[in-house]
Amino acid sequence: MSRPILDNDGNFEGIVLAVVEPQYFANYYGSGGASTDDVALLERADGAILAGTHESAAAQKSNVSVAQVHGFPVKITLIGKPPITSTQFLSFCAMDATLLLVMTFVAWWLATAAAYEATAVDRETSARRTAEARLLSAIEGAPAAFALYDSDDRLVLSNEIFRSFFASIKDEIAPGRTFRELIETAVANHAFAHTHPDEQEFIRWRMDQHRLGIGEPVLQLRDGRWILMRERRTKEGDAVLFYSDITPLKQHEEQLALARQQAEQANHAKTAFLANMSHELRTPLNAIIGFSEMIERKILGPISENYRQYGEIVRTSGQHLLSIINDILDVAKLNSGKTELHLEPVDVNHTIGEAISMISSKAASAGVRVSTTLAPTCPRIEADPVRLRQVLLNVLANAVKFTPAGGHIGVSSSVAGSELRIVVADSGVGMAPEDIPRALQPFTQVGCEYTAAQEGTGLGLPISKSLVELHGGRFEISSVLKQGTTITITLPIRRAGRTRTDKPALDIAV
């Protein structure tokens, strides 16, 4: 192989000639072994092969790479398998594939985790939004007014009912406004009824209620409605307000109060009327009873037996009517709280004896036996002797009235600590336990075949119970139907004070 030598100006100066052994070239570019699959050829420009390895396999190679040798009319041709099938390439691909697979798996896992987290965040966000929407909807649909203030006492939210309570400042009720600003605005716009003349004092009071979160004040709005205010503080310092419209309840209370007042006024009017009428009736009745008794006794001269009997009938009828009037008068006084007790030391055994003496003739006529078992050392008690005698007479008369002929009434007295006990037990018709409360109701008699024939207003026992309670004592009844009734009167031995005018627990509409 030769190459010309030229000077700087391009003039020919000589020739460089090189002689190369082609086999050396082939060995240099070849693998040096017959087992290689690659072929290296040195070719002339006209395609003649000057040197190479495995020339016979050259035709079977499909991957050809040609490089011209600059300055020489030869070229180097490399023939071999495609790089994709080489051991290095396959090893490289195997390593890369493994790495790629691992990276792909990691990327997939990260992507999946990120997607799951994003989905969970989306679900949580959606659930939170749904919960918030439902909560706001529930607050808005609540049957009471609701408002929430934060720890800085600024309004966070409120529902429509809350805003409707303060229609005159409805546009001012907006998030961010402080409670003081809203209460001052409400007072300035007369949102409340004119029941608080000192506006500043009312604002201070309302702020204290709100700050402490205690109490449940009731305020009237300008439109006449009454609202019950409930306020509570949370652990975070927020204030939760619940306002309820109690106008219907307030109106009902006012109506009840008015009805009660009217009923009391009517009852007082009837009581006063009956009291006055009782006094007016007692005067002529006393005259009737007195003159009929004179006729019965023939004081003004002899009369026929018929006229004497007429006089007796007039007297007994008048006395019966007077007894009814006296009972009604007692009820009127008890109802009005005007019954006075004139307390003094009373010998109860002596009073019991007086009452039995007064009732003895009636008991004898009815065929009823009366016996006593009195405490031998019975102390004197502080009581009204007239009223105590009235109680004993009512109880004894009632026992005689409802004890058939041949029956028995037992009266006893005993001392138990600081109390004195009087017991009146009869063997009369008795009554069922469930009928006892009715027996203590005014104008009521427990009905049966025997009692239906008995006269009376049904005021004796209720009056007696009230008089005993007016003394600070107890009036108790126990009874067994068809076996008899026992009445126990318990009185304190000593009482503070000399008089008592308290209204007893007797509510008799007369």
- Answer yes or no: do 279 and 355 share one domain: no
User: Phi and psi of 444, rounded to 5°?
Assistant: -125, 135
User: Containing domain of residue 42, as a range?
Assistant: 2-81
Please report the pLDDT score of residue 227 as a whole number: 86
- For residue 411, tell me if it sits in a domain: yes
- Domains in the chain, number: 4
Token digits of residue 30 = 């070849």
Please report the pLDDT score of residue 380 as a whole number: 92
- Answer yes or no: do 212 and 170 share one domain: yes
Please report the pLDDT score of residue 57 as a whole number: 46
Which of 501, 506, 446 has the alpha carbon at shortest distance from 479? Answer: 446
- For residue 103, tell me if it sits in a domain: no
- For residue 134, tell me if it sits in a domain: no
Token digits of residue 237 = 């310092």
Query: Which residue, of 81, 111, 129, is where some domain finishes?
Result: 81
Query: Which residue, of 81, 98, 129, is where some domain finishes?
Result: 81
Please report the pLDDT score of residue 35 as a whole number: 46
- Answer yes or no: do 344 and 490 share one domain: yes
Please report the pLDDT score of residue 220 as a whole number: 84
- Answer yes or no: do 345 and 470 share one domain: yes
The pLDDT tens digits along the chain (510 residues) read: 677 788 888 888 888 776 666 666 656 555 444 445 667 777 777 777 777 655 554 455 567 777 777 667 777 777 766 666 666 667 766 776 787 788 888 888 888 888 888 888 888 888 888 877 887 787 787 778 888 899 999 999 888 888 888 888 888 999 999 999 999 998 888 888 876 678 888 888 888 888 887 778 888 888 888 888 888 888 888 888 888 888 877 777 778 888 888 887 877 777 677 667 767 777 888 888 889 989 888 888 898 989 989 988 898 888 888 877 787 777 777 776 777 888 999 999 999 999 999 899 999 999 999 999 999 888 999 999 989 999 999 999 999 999 999 999 999 999 988 999 999 999 999 999 888 888 887 766 665 555 544 555 678 888 899 899 999 999 999 999 999 999 999 999 986 544 444 444 444 433
The number of C-alpha atoms within 13 Å of 296 and in the hemisphere containing its C-beta is 14
- For residue 212, tell me if it sits in a domain: yes
Distance between CA atoms of 49 and 56, rounded to whole angstroms?
A: 12
Q: How far is CA 117 from the centre of its chain?
A: 43
Token digits of residue 134 = 């439902």
Cα distances (Å, whole numbers) of residue 441 to 4, 181, 266, 328: 155, 60, 20, 14
User: Phi and psi of 346, rounded to 5°?
Assistant: -125, 135
- Answer yes or no: do 356 and 483 share one domain: yes
CA angle 506, 462, 343 (to 5 degrees): 75
- Answer yes or no: do 239 and 258 share one domain: no
- For residue 130, tell me if it sits in a domain: no
- Answer yes or no: do 263 and 343 share one domain: no
- Dihedral of CA atoms 261, 264, 266, 269 in degrees, nearest 10, equals -130
- Answer yes or no: do 386 and 474 share one domain: yes
Distance between CA atoms of 448 and 481, rounded to whole angstroms?
A: 10
Q: Across-strand partners of 477?
A: 487
Query: Which residue, of 245, 266, 292, is where some domain finishes?
Result: 245
Strands (DSSP E) contained in 361-442 are 369-373, 381-383, 408-416, 419-426
- Answer yes or no: do 396 and 487 share one domain: yes
Distance between CA atoms of 38 and 79, rounded to whole angstroms?
A: 6
- For residue 509, tell me if it sits in a domain: no
- Answer yes or no: do 461 and 353 share one domain: yes
- For residue 373, tell me if it sits in a domain: yes
- Answer yes or no: do 224 and 239 share one domain: yes
- Answer yes or no: do 369 and 462 share one domain: yes
The enclosing domain of 273 has a CATH number of 1.10.287
Please report the pLDDT score of residue 86 as a whole number: 65
- For residue 233, tell me if it sits in a domain: yes
